[in-house]
């Protein structure tokens, strides 16, 4: 029997351990790696070439969305299943446009996760039952009205990464180290971001990131 090779990505070790323990029960699934953030996930994908990636959204350094856009470039064959607590329409739409194969909420039971993994391994799109109707309704509405362009989509993938890190409060030097680029390049990206979004202060960039669901303020 051919096994689905899985990479588990979540910044909480207990969550990763719980998912891995569950998946080990099934003969058609093999966990071949784990990662604690988006940057580590990208490196693991390059090294171990998983079939399916279980990806959290909100993580330090590089989040789920930023990681997905990079992974789809380096491993377009890999299928990505988002596993998150967030059911925001903004998130769901953004990830579907980025090419993920599934979106599952963490409130799901273990059998839902197995169903999702098996569905996307067959090339199907899997959505958590509670959000399926919202997604379908959204697509139906989009065909009946003018679609307003999202200014966030003007940004390049690298600019989106820089925006997230700025919004999280990282300094230019910290961002440069995280993304392995120069401080000068980080500043250039920030300038481009500000011009494209017409948002010119760090506090306003943070507000934009919160409003667009790029970062979360947990209450």
CATH class for domain 4-142?
A: alpha beta
User: How far is 197 from 208, CA to CA, in rounded Å?
Assistant: 9
User: How far is 121 from 199, CA to CA, in rounded Å?
Assistant: 41
What is the reported pLDDT for 148? Answer: 45
Q: Is the dihedral of CA 113, 119, 120, 124 positive or negative?
A: negative
Please give the CATH number for the structural domain made up of 151-211. 1.10.10.10
Bridge partners of residue 127, in order along the sequence: 103
What is the reported pLDDT for 4? Answer: 94
On the question of a common fold for 4-142 and 151-211, the answer reads no
Bridge partners of residue 193, in order along the sequence: none
User: How far is 128 from 17, CA to CA, in rounded Å?
Assistant: 22
Per-residue pLDDT of the chain (219 residues; tens, 9 = 90+): 689 999 999 999 999 999 999 999 999 999 999 999 999 999 999 999 999 999 998 888 888 888 999 999 999 999 999 998 887 777 788 888 888 999 999 888 889 999 999 999 999 999 887 776 556 555 545 554 444 467 888 888 899 989 989 988 899 999 999 999 999 999 999 999 999 888 888 888 888 888 777 877 654
| pLDDT tens digits, 174-210 | 999 999 999 999 999 999 999 988 888 888 888 888 8
| pLDDT tens digits, 9-24 | 999 999 999 999 999 9
What is the reported pLDDT for 192? Answer: 92
Q: Where are the domains of the chain?
A: 4-142, 151-211
Residue 204, Cβ neighbours under 10 Å: how many? 13
């Amino acid at each position: 029997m051919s096994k689905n090779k899985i990479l588990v990505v979540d910044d909480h070790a207990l969550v990763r351990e719980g998912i891995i323990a569950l998946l080990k029960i099934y003969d058609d699934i093999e966990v071949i790696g784990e990662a604690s953030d988006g940057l580590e996930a990208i490196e693991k994908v390059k090294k171990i070439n998983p079939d399916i990636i279980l990806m959290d959204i909100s993580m330090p350094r590089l989040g789920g969305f930023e990681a997905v856009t990079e992974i789809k470039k380096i491993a377009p064959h890999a299928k990505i299943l988002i596993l998150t607590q967030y059911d925001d329409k903004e998130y769901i739409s953004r990830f579907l446009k980025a090419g993920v194969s599934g979106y599952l909420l963490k409130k799901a039971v273990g059998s839902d996760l197995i169903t999702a993994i098996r569905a996307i391994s067959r090339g199907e799109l899997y959505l958590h039952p509670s959000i399926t109707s919202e997604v379908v309704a959204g697509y139906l509405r989009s065909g009946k009205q003018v679609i307003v362009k999202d200014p966030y989509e003007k940004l390049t993938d690298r600019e989106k990464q820089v925006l997230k890190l700025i919004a999280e409060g990282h300094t230019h030097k910290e961002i440069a180290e995280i993304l392995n680029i120069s401080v000068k390049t980080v500043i250039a990206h920030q300038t481009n971001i500000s011009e494209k979004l017409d948002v010119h202060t760090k506090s306003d960039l943070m507000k934009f990131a919160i409003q667009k669901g790029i970062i979360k303020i947990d209450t």
